[in-house]
Amino acid sequence: MEKVKSSPYALFFKRLIDIVTSLFVIILFCWLYGIIAILVRVKLGSPVLFKQDRPGKIDPKTGKEKIFRLYKFRTMTDARDENGELLPDSERLTPFGAWLRRTSMDEIPELFNILKGDMSLIGPRPLLVRYLERYSEEQHHRHDVRPGLTGYAQAHGRNGVSWEDKFAMDVWYTKNVTFVNDVKIILDTIRTVVRHEGISSGTSATMEEFMGTPKGIVAQWRAPK
């Protein structure tokens, strides 16, 4: 496994851009946060924010992923069946919630995570903590950098590609952290969001749970030349 690219951009300027950009957007669009928060409260209920622990960048001192609290606008109701169990995601996802996901508006509270240093504008998406024990040694390297608001996999397939391909893209990115690549990912992400590509996996409202990569299964994705 190659080491993470240690260019001046990756070591210093990337974090500086994260701080300046996230702070600027939060201040400029504070009115938008307020409007969405009100709509979420009226249409989906309380709490307005969805909060969940996610794994972040690997701490070089412990060799383990730092766990942080992720913030998003909620997109689903708390509808339950007669036994008190939550209904499937597809039944709790309202048209308004689907719109938030389609436009990625549910993700904008993560700018506070970026400002805090938990995340970056660009990087592998932060997934569930329980997935950590299911990763292969290679897949664990997706945590060699801070997780991102968007990333290479989100700009090139989103939820429409397999877990194996998605992780292969993530690991490729950790070895190719450059300003040029980050700009390309931002532009490709905008295109993906505008075209509403890869919102679901085809069999799920979002993406099926990652259960681990079965033996013999390899990524079909190939790194760009």
**Per-residue pLDDT, 141:** 94
**Position 17 confidence tier, pLDDT thresholds 50, 70, 90:** very high
pLDDT at 221 over 60: yes
User: Would the pLDDT of 116 be above 70?
Assistant: yes
- pLDDT at residue 37 in the model: 97
Could you tell me the pLDDT band of residue 53, with boundaries at 50, 70 and 90?
very high
- Res. 164 pLDDT band, cuts 50 70 90: very high
**Sequence-distant (≥ 6) Cβ neighbours of residue 186 within 8 angstroms:** 121, 122, 150, 155
Q: Residue 79 — pLDDT band, cuts 50, 70, 90?
A: confident
Q: Examine the pLDDT at 63 and tell me if it is beyond 80.
A: yes
Q: What is the mean pLDDT of residues 20-29?
A: 97
pLDDT at 163: 92
- Which has the closest alpha carbon to 165: 139, 183, 145? 139
pLDDT in tens, 178-198: 999 999 999 999 888 787 665
> Is-contact 43 96, C-beta < 8 A?
yes
Nearest to 158 by CA among 129, 194, 183: 194
Judged against a pLDDT cut of 60, whether residue 34 lies above it is answered with yes
Please check the confidence at residue 200 and state whether its pLDDT lies above 80. no
The pLDDT score that the predictor gives to residue 198 is: 54
Contacts of 116 (CB under 8 A, 6+ apart): 68
Radius of gyration of the chain (CA): 18
Mean pLDDT in residue range 135-145:
94
Lowest mean pLDDT among 12-16, 161-165, 218-222: 218-222
pLDDT(42) > 60: yes
What is the overall mean pLDDT for the chain?
A: 89
